[in-house]
Homo-oligomer: A and B are copies of this chain.
Amino acid sequence: MKVNVGISNRHVHLCEEDYKILFGDIPLTKRNDLTQPGMYACNETVTIKGNKREYEGVRILGPNRTYTQVEISKTDAYYLGVDPPVRNSGDLLDAALITIIGPKGEITKKACIIATRHIHVDENERIKHNLVGVEKVSVKIDGEKSGIINNVYLKDSDKAYFELHLDTDDANGFLLKQGDEVEIIV
């Protein structure tokens, strides 16, 4: 069973309240649609700041959510000087403290995680790929730096584009590019 790879660079989701602190009354604007239906990359970016360093120009993904979440790789974490846990999106238990700086203000909160390896699915895709009731899978990756990754969670939404999302550490370690095809092992 094959799935295409989508690579997530460091990015930020904001709740409405935090968005207003960072951007005031400037509305969030779409730059381009993402593969997941309804999701988009915004023109707006922020600076994220840890204990050691900061990254400028970190993209906001829209639409705004009910929670603020900063997703980075372990490599980013060492650079910034933060120690985020590995979490499914929306699970901010013990998330690392991080400062987010926008043009109108800044916030510091426990919002920083390393996202789990995950595959976006909906009910139809689960049925189509024989994944009903499955919580997580492994994925086999070919190529010069081949291997297998475990603990790849299935992430449900009402309408999903069937795709494996990896952070840049996993993708680059295996020399994967956006759209590459890999194999699911249940």
Contacts and interface: CB of A to CB of B under 8 A. Distances in A.
A173 B173 contact: yes
Interface string A66-78: 0000000111001
* Size band of the interface chain A makes with B: 20 to 34
Interface stretch (A35-43, A102-110, A142-150, A155-163): A142-150
Copies of this chain, tallied across the complex: 2
17 contacts: A73-B172, A73-B173, A74-B173, A74-B175, A75-B75, A75-B169, A75-B172, A78-B172, A86-B175, A138-B147, A145-B150, A145-B170, A147-B148, A148-B148, A169-B169, A169-B172, A170-B173
- Tell me the dominant secondary structure on chain A's binding face: mixed
Contacts of A148: 147-148
Given A78-B172, A144-B151, A145-B151, 17 more contacts: A73-B172, A73-B173, A74-B173, A75-B168, A75-B172, A86-B144, A86-B145, A86-B175, A117-B145, A138-B147, A145-B149, A146-B149, A146-B151, A169-B173, A170-B173, A172-B173, A173-B173
